Amino acid sequence: MLSTTAKAAAAAFLLSLAAPLAAGAASLPSAPPVEAQYDSGSLHVERYGHAGDPVVLLPGLTVGTWEWNDLIRRLVPRHTVYAVALPGFDGRPPAAAPLFDRFTNDFWAFLSAQKIVRPVVVGHSLGGTLAILLGEQHSDRLRGIVALDGMPIFPGMERVTAEQRAAGAQQAATQIAAETHQQLLDYEKGYMKGPGGVLDEQLGAQLADLEAKSDPATVAEWLKEDLGSDLRPGLGNISVPLLEITPYDAADLANSPVQYTEDQKVQYYRALLNGAPKLQVVSLSPARHFVMFDQPDRVFTLIDAFINQNR
């Protein structure tokens, strides 16, 4: 998943484990008009369109619904799209821990309240992890899952014990929770310029400004639960198709001490997702973590085909 807010503390922890992976448009696309809005506990949901198969979009760490603007515009003509905003991100109010449990409770309540039947759930980074968790809980209520660089366990964490994961997660969370807005902004700008963000540096600076609107304490809690979780034991419960989209950029590896081919990354991700009965892993390159900005046409083509195949 190579998360957007794998802050310096988390990165240092993972690098100390010698993990095998390290984690263009010039402006942010605009979204179509919001047709309806809902609140479900800690979640805020925007609805776009009102016909066709339902699609639910889940954002990554520190990210708002804006990361899906381009995909929303492409999906709306034939689908009803629900974009979920998570607590503490993009200026949204925070929520109390445990956030993973709170999210799933509020999500299922939202589907019931709005009478949404078997949507395809698409998640990026943290949102992809949450989508996998939803599939493990109630696959019968979903039609399919698409995860964009979102995994059942944070890459690198599979090689340590649960106690070590918890310690690393707490270390990262403690540092992030103490950050000021400026420190969060500085980190996000650095992240976006490096291999973790987007290929377009101008767009990366714009996205960093938006990400820095998030609440550091809530970001810290989300990251703590993300780094500390291991959803692999439940992958066998996912009875619906699961598409994992992984980005790859060879140029980012030119000066990296860790070298791996695109196929090696695909096989690594496939190994972490081993156990999901209906799994497909597709790599897009050149692309960084925010693959929907680097390869918007190919991301839409993959997701549109996935939806059509699983009606």
Quick one: pLDDT at residue 100? 98
Which domain range does residue 59 map to? 8-309
In a domain, 77, yes or no: yes
Quick one: pLDDT at residue 176? 85
Query: Whole-model pTM?
Result: 0.89
* CB-CB contact of 259 with 253 (8 Å): yes
pLDDT in tens, 274-287: 999 999 999 999 99
Low pLDDT (below 50) residues in the chain? 1-25
In a domain, 1, yes or no: no
Quick one: pLDDT at residue 76? 96
Quick one: pLDDT at residue 26? 59
Query: Which two three-digit tokens encode residue 303?
Result: 């997701």
Please give the tally of structural domains in the chain: 1
In a domain, 138, yes or no: yes
CATH of the domain at 179: 3.40.50.1820
242 CB neighbour count, 10 Å cutoff: 25
| Beta strand ranges found along the chain (DSSP E) | 36-40, 43-48, 53-58, 79-85, 120-124, 144-148, 242-247, 279-284
In a domain, 222, yes or no: yes
* CB-CB contact of 255 with 195 (8 Å): no
In a domain, 290, yes or no: yes
pLDDT in tens, 204-246: 888 988 898 999 999 999 999 999 999 999 999 999 999 999 9
